[in-house]
A and B are shown apart, each in its own frame.
Chain A
Amino acid sequence: MSAPPPGLRAADADAQALAPFTTWPDGAGGVALSQFQVAGMHCAACSGLIEALLNKLPGVEAASVNAASARLALWWRPSQVALADVLAALQAAGYRASPDVAAPARELRRQEKRQALWRLFVAGFLMMQVMMLAAPAYVAEAGELSADLDRLLRWGSWVLTLPVMAFAAGPFFSGAWKQLRSGRLGMDVPVTVGLAVTFVASTGALFDPGGALGHEVYFDSLTMFVALLLLARWFELGARHRAADALEAVAGSLPTTAERLRDDGSSERVPPEVLRAGDRIRVAAGEAFAADGCVLAGQGFVNEALLTGESAPVAKAVGDAVVAGSISLDGSLVVAVQRVGADTTAQGIVRLMQQAQSQRSSAGGVVERVAAGFTAGVLLLALAAGIGWWWIDPSRAVAVAVAVLIVTCPCALTLAAPAAWLTASGALARRGLLLADLSALERLCDVDTVVFDKTGTLSEDRLQLRRHWAAEGVDADALLAMARSLAALSRHPHAQALADGSSGLWTEVRELAGRGVEARDANGLVWRLGAPAWVRANPDPAARLAFGCGDRVLWLDLAEAPRADAAEAVKALRAQGRRVRLLSGDQRAAVARMAAALDIAHWRAGATPESKLAAVREWQAAGERVLMVGDGINDAPVLAAADVRIAMGQGAMLARSAADALLLSNRLMAVPKALTLAVKTRRVLRQNLAWAALYNLACVPLALAGWLPPLAAGIGMACSSLFVVLNAQRLNR
């Protein structure tokens, strides 16, 4: 694992090798944005270290590390620095970065988990044995334990402590070394100083009982301290891995192999990473496309729900474009590969989500800053306490300094925020709501107005034509056939409900957000299909949709059903004391019907994207915090303006890219649950911070006064870390 992946060694890093995990925001040859998974990070402070380290390298524009998901986003210039050098610099600092395509990341996680488990076992198991050897000295009456036997027990403890210090505590030592070398103080420094001081003092007492280091040995509290810290980290690792797994489940829509056609007509199965633009692949029925491309031979239906949100099959014939991640439903297609890896549309979506993940939430940053200043203070305090006690009672100086160092480790402080955010996002992901931005949890707490879009959000995507009619003397059925052929050219749910696969000779097709679609027929007449008021000046109030040209107008009514749990979700939101609004571009009658069915008092119909935006701005100006739930292309601007935005998982790409969270399950009950969980998360976070502060306030004076033996200090310290992590785990329920 230590060597960078093949292909990255070349000084002229070629774009092909970078493709799976790199994008070029300002075009080829400019700044490259590469995503990595980082192994070796075990605390929030590490992210700052990596950023500082990378930013110093020539050719690196910026680096952003998300401590929670262990992801690194690196902006760099391939013309000035080789990626291998960047990775080597990271490696020298003790971190391993691997390109963020799913498989290597999973392998890294597996190794990290094994390593953590082994360290935890070594520390935990040896801790128990050391305690057994230490027990006789605590329980024996005076004179019961012979001096020889006591020495032998101490020797046994020392031998069993060696693997704990040398192996299990390794992450603390390497972490502290990294922090010291970069001139920053993290939580590993006081832990390491505490461990080293305790071990040296105890070893000195063992070999030279009458020496300056006193005659007490602390091997039992030392091993327990390491074991409990490792246990807390084990929980944190678990939370991090669960979040990573949840993201990967979404990202894993690409197939693991593709059938590449050779020039002689034979074929081979290859992993998608080795595909290059210009290759030809064959995709059988039921398979997913491994790359974006265009159809060379064959025809069939394709499910493009990943891209468009429409689950209806799309017909593909020779020359049509297909996107990676969509699924061929019938027939076998031969596709010319045009884009692979990170350039594909599907990976574009995934990357948007990852970029949101790499932005650290502001609360996390504050906690980290507090921890850094805190550590510097603690080190000075311990030194002062040691010197102070040297004058009062030299024999206790070391013990007091040790107690101060162990008791004040800011472990709980730095664990507080990430543990809570990560657990909450994991719990939401299991309910089908995937957070793209962790800080959305913070904003969700203040939401008092929930605005729903109607079509595709509160209602099912599928619509059905209920009835159609026209004025006297107009052939309604003939117009309907024309309307159906025009509808096939639009992606709007209304049009999709009409489309029956027939096609007409339409030219100059234009789609207007919030209005409809217009096109020119074979005779050069412009027909419109869309909102009745747009098609004709004084529309039939019963119509939901109209199709027409001049006076020849067909009125259409579509039936639409609310989602199964829409009424329940609206009720739950109101029970939480939140205002529920319905904001739709649809006809007044249809919106009124839906509002009545769901018991929504505040509703607005016939809204255009501009008036939706204006309405949300107006509510915000009135002091309301708006959560917008929408799905369509016409919801994108209003989503961007809302305080918190949730897009339906099947929604259009544009809506999804603007969203803080994706509702993948389409179960609306996840929205009230997310709001409840956000409030709970804030409560847990505050509890955690308050606990960490309270604990230190209580223990530091005791340690300074010398009333806190190192054993009690170790227990208190480790327990406070565990408390914080376990408290966060409550959010999982």
Chain B
Amino acid sequence: MDILYLLIPFSVVMVLLIVAVFGWAVNAGQLDGFEKEAERILLVEDQGA
């Protein structure tokens, strides 16, 4: 059970890392509009930017 003393702090650090990655994704606009992403394939390339 001693491994728990390593795993628990490790999992806490992992969780904080995941939160940071999600924060980056939100603020980079990846979750702004899901329809927009789906429709992008229908747009002419220079419009889709």
Chain A interface (Cβ within 8 Å of chain B)? 110, 113-114, 117-118, 121-122, 125-126, 129, 133, 148-149, 152-153, 156, 159-160, 163
**Pairwise interchain contact A122-B18, C-beta atoms closer than 8 A:** no
User: Residue B26 at the A interface, CB < 8 A?
Assistant: yes
Cα separation A121 to B16 with both chains bound (whole Å): 12
Interface positions of B from 1 to 49, Cβ below 8 Å from A:
1, 4-5, 8-9, 11-12, 15-16, 18-19, 22-23, 26-27, 29, 31-32
Chain B interface (Cβ within 8 Å of chain A)? 1, 4-5, 8-9, 11-12, 15-16, 18-19, 22-23, 26-27, 29, 31-32
Which residues of chain A are within 8 angstroms of B11 by Cβ–Cβ distance?
129, 156
Distance in Å: Cβ of A120 to nearest Cβ of chain B: 10
Which residues of chain A are within 8 angstroms of B19 by Cβ–Cβ distance?
121-122, 125-126, 163
**Pairwise interchain contact A118-B32, C-beta atoms closer than 8 A:** no
Cα separation A125 to B19 with both chains bound (whole Å): 8
Which residues of chain B are within 8 angstroms of A117 by Cβ–Cβ distance?
26, 31
Distance in Å: Cβ of A284 to nearest Cβ of chain B: 20
Known: A113-B32, A118-B27, A152-B4. 9 other contacts (CB 8 A): A110-B32, A114-B26, A114-B31, A121-B23, A125-B22, A129-B15, A133-B8, A148-B5, A149-B5
The one of B4, B9, B12 that contacts A149, using a Cβ cutoff of 8 Å:
B4
Query: Who on chain B is nearest to A120 by CB?
Result: B26
Among B8, B16, B26, B32, the one with the most A-chain Cβ atoms within 10 Å of its Cβ is B26
Cα separation A159 to B32 with both chains bound (whole Å): 30
Which residues of chain A are within 8 angstroms of B18 by Cβ–Cβ distance?
125
**Pairwise interchain contact B22-A159, C-beta atoms closer than 8 A:** no
Q: 27 pairs across A/B with beta carbons < 8 Å?
A: A110-B32, A113-B32, A114-B27, A114-B29, A117-B26, A117-B31, A118-B22, A118-B26, A121-B26, A122-B23, A125-B15, A125-B18, A129-B11, A129-B12, A129-B15, A148-B5, A149-B5, A152-B5, A152-B8, A153-B8, A156-B9, A156-B11, A159-B12, A160-B12, A160-B15, A160-B16, A163-B16
Which residues of chain B are within 8 angstroms of A163 by Cβ–Cβ distance?
16, 19
Which residues of chain B are within 8 angstroms of A153 by Cβ–Cβ distance?
8
Cα separation A148 to B1 with both chains bound (whole Å): 12
Cα separation A126 to B22 with both chains bound (whole Å): 12
Distance in Å: Cβ of B27 to nearest Cβ of chain A: 6
Distance in Å: Cβ of B7 to nearest Cβ of chain A: 10
Which residues of chain B are within 8 angstroms of A125 by Cβ–Cβ distance?
15, 18-19, 22
Distance in Å: Cβ of A105 to nearest Cβ of chain B: 16
**Pairwise interchain contact A118-B9, C-beta atoms closer than 8 A:** no
Which residues of chain A are within 8 angstroms of B9 by Cβ–Cβ distance?
152, 156
Cα separation A102 to B11 with both chains bound (whole Å): 45
